[in-house]
Every structure is written in C-alpha cells, then in structure tokens.
Amino acid sequence: MTEDRSPAAPTPDWLDHGRDVLARTALAPQAEAIGRVRQTADGIAHVTGLPDVRLNALLRFEGGQYGFAQALDRDEIAAVLLDDTAAVTAGQRVVDTGEVLQVPVGEALLGRVVDPLGRPLDGGPALGQTETWPIERPAPAIIERDPVSDPVETGVLVVDALFALGRGQRELIVGDRATGKTALAVDAIINQKNSDVICVYVAIGQRATAVERVIEAVRSYGAPERCIFVVGAASAAPGLQWIAPFAGMSMAEYFRDRGQHALIVIDDLTHHAATHRELALLTREPPGREAYPGDVFYLHARLLERAAKMSAEKGGGSLTALPIAETDAGNLSAYIPTNLISITDGQIVLSSHLFAANQRPAVDVGLSVSRVGGKAQKAALRSVSGRVRLDYAQFLELEMFTRFGGISNTRVTAQITRGERIRALLTQPRYANLRMVDQVALLAALAEGVFDTLPPEALADLRAQLPGYLDAQGGDLLADLAQSGQLDAQGRKALAELVAGLARQMGPGTPAPGPAP
C-alpha cells in the first residue's frame, strides 16, 4: 500500500475573507426594544410595549417608516409619523432606534432643496455621507455671546435706514396675509449674494407654487449656491412640518459654530403653531388659550434663542433669524403674534392698507421697531438716516389734516413736500436691492434738499440709475465710504452733489443742493 502524497487543494479567497470577518465580529447578546402599534389615525400612532423610550426618540416602524415620540403616557406613547401615514397600521412592530431625531448638516446641503429630514426634493443626487446633528440643541449661554454690532444689509432702504438688522438678531416680520412678508425676507436673502452670509429658507405649510416662486427668485437674482431650502410643504405630514424650523436651525448652526455667518428665514411660525396645536390636541394634551397647549411660548422661545452672535472664543460666528408671523385683520395682540413679539428683538409690521395703496414694501413705520437699531448700522448710514423716521411720522400726521382743507403755512408746506419725497424713496420694487453707498447717497441728497423740486414719481427712475452713475462718477469717495463706513460733512455734500448731477441729467430745472428747510 503506497502513501498518497498529492498536494492539498488551495483554500478559496472568499473563505479566508469570511473567516477574517467572523473573527473580527463581536459575538454578544444585543437587546432591542420592540413595541406594537395599538392605533393609528391623523398622523399619530399610539404604541405600546416601549416603557423606556425617551421624549423625541426616533422610532422605526415595520414598513420602514419613521416617527418620533411626542407624548409619553404610563401605558403607551404617542408617536408623530414622519412618512406615509397610510402605511402604518395597527399591530405592526415598532423599534426604538435609541437615537433622537437628527438631520444632516454641512456644505453638501448648499444649493439643495431638501425636506426636514434632509432628503432631496430637487431631483438631485442623495447627499451621501454627511454629519448629522440633533434637531433640538441648547441655545448658546449668555457668556458665549457677543453684542450685536455688525449689520445684515437687506438692500431694502426702509429696513436698512430705519430698522437696521444686526448679525445675531431676531427680527419678526409680521402682517396680514398677502402683504409682502415673504417678499421682504426673500429680498434680504437675495442681497446676501454680495456678502459672506449663508442663507437657510424654511417653508412650513406653504403651497408648493409659493415655495417654487421663492426658489426661482433666489436662483434668478441671488446666490443659490450659498442657500439651503428646507421645505415642509402643506401636503407633507404634520410631523415633518413640526420639525422643519428645528431642522433648519441645526443646519444654520453648523455654519455659525464654524465661525461663519448665517441667516435663517422661517416662513412662517403661525402655521407652525397651528401644527403644534393640532399634534397636541391629537395626543390629548390639555389645551390653553385659543386651544393652543401651554408650552407654545416655550416652543418658539427655545427655537429662536438659538440665533446669536458668538464670542471670539467661540469662533465669532453669527446666526440671524427672520421669523414670519401672520395676523388676522391687523390684530397684533393675538396670541401667537404677541408671543413672538415678546421673544424677538423687534418687529417689522406690514400694513394691508399701505399695500393696497401700492406702497411696497408696505412697512408701517409707526408700529415697526428694531431693538438693536443704530448699534448695527454703519456710521455713514446712521448719520444720514437719523431724522428720516421723525420727519416721515410728522408728514403722515400733517397729511391727514390737509385732507380737511389747504394749508398756507410755508413751514408746513415744506414738511409735506419733504414727506412726499421720503415716501417715494421708501417705495422700492422687488429685486431692486440697493447697496449701502446708494442708500447713503439718496438720504444725503434728501437731507440737502436735492429732491424738493423733483416730482415724487421721478425718484423711481433716479433710484434705478443711481448705482451705475455713482460707479462712473464717484471714484475715491465711493471706495472710501464702502471700506470705512464713515462719512463727514464734506463727504455728505459731495454725495449730494453727485445725486444732484444725475437729477439734472434726467430733467432740467433741478437746482444744486442747498440747506434743508
């Protein structure tokens, strides 16, 4: 009998790889909390069998849908669904993922249209591997903040001159339906194409056509590559609409915490409050005033407190918030507008009467206020805009009295003339943003009496031609003003002379600037 010395067959590579993977795998028992859906209706799933689940914990349902724990009772939890509510039925398994609700953040989101969970809505590719942050994050502590001192230039004269916004400020835009609230916020976003501010637009419960108009406007006139659009549309699940502002805030905070500057527009918090009331009533929370739950003030306070100007030790970044609220028949004392006014650092009130009178933007100068104001303005703009609001308020009162009869007083006639020119200057079409130097030149010319002999309707053409004329004729004066933000008396007169030269080109009979009446 002879010995078999034939060589053994080689081990396949896949078998060696499998053995390596198996050797590296930690074989240990893993616990998984599993519950059952007892009942589902109206976007709420009542789940039993998860006694240790946390508030706002992310839950995964049997069909792959997600939800989060909104109300924790002794025997069951109420979960708000984030996906197709019809696919979740009674008896399905529910798994506690052990995580809180998170959203992707980072530069991969810039230029994209996403839902509040970060899923693309623009038909583009998936975001890929990105960092994720919780939607609920604590607001910066007082010691981590700096005073608001740098401006956010909106390009809208009435805002920049009278109600200046600062980086890190929270300014409410409030008014009746269809008075130009979103248009004012979109103009502010478009104007950031000339700055280093990254913009986040959050739509809550808005019609798809309205959101498309906003996105198209930014793509046509602004810098969409530095914007993020978070859309919780009216057709989306209530849970998605509820998390939308928190998700957008986390996305904006990513840039703030890296030392950059961000602007978030939340359109609008009135719809968000209504969604919060809907979810609270469905989860049987006790109702309060106007059926809103008692925590609706805290809901928006903890959201808007996350906007801040950070100290140098924390990177020096900023997050500016422009929340929008809708009133009914101009009632600013309603529950939600009152709450938001008390939370924010000022409000820009839009009037339906001014809108109907074709004054756009329809900003009510008497009711609007910025609690930061001149502290965030460039010195040059502050020096020429100091008396504009007072002169305009006096004009509005005098105009009311002139309806009852003519006024022969020369001083009163001069005030009315000046007020009509102020109103014409503050009336500004959409997408016609003005630079800071253009605004300073217009207000300097107004103070020097350049416009007193011009018909008010001619100011629209002058404003449209002014940027090009200043670039051609301004020279070093404009460069110094744009760089330093300072303007002395001599520079003011020189700017007024430039504007007067343009006015003389447009029509004969315009005198040189003289002392203001």
Strand order in the sheet with 113-114: 113-114, 227-232, 197-204, 261-267, 318-326, 172-175, 346-350, 369-370
User: Is the Cβ–Cβ distance between 200 and 227 less than 8 Å?
Assistant: yes
Q: How far apart are CA 114 and CA 201, in angstroms?
A: 11
User: Is the Cβ–Cβ distance between 187 and 431 less than 8 Å?
Assistant: yes
Angle, vertex CA 54, rays to CA 90 and CA 247, nearest 5: 90
User: Is the Cβ–Cβ distance between 282 and 42 less than 8 Å?
Assistant: yes
Q: How far apart are CA 60 and CA 80, in angstroms?
A: 11
Angle, vertex CA 73, rays to CA 335 and CA 245, nearest 5: 40
Q: How far apart are CA 507 and CA 500, in angstroms?
A: 11
**Tokens for 425?**
């200057």
Q: Name 34's bridge partners.
A: 95
- How far is residue 370 from each of residues 165, 325, 359, 377, measured CA to CA in Å? 7, 16, 21, 11
Based on DSSP, count helices (H) and strands (E) in the chain, helices before strands: 16, 16
- How far is residue 343 from each of residues 153, 307, 346, measured CA to CA in Å? 22, 12, 9
371 counts as catalytic? yes
CB atoms within 10 A of CB 246: 23
User: Is the Cβ–Cβ distance between 105 and 133 less than 8 Å?
Assistant: yes
Q: How far apart are CA 333 and CA 108, in angstroms?
A: 41
Q: Which amino acid is at 327?
A: T
- Which listed residue (137, 213, 302, 371) is catalytic? 371
Give 90's Cβ-side CA count (13 Å radius). Answer: 4
| Residues known to be catalytic | 371
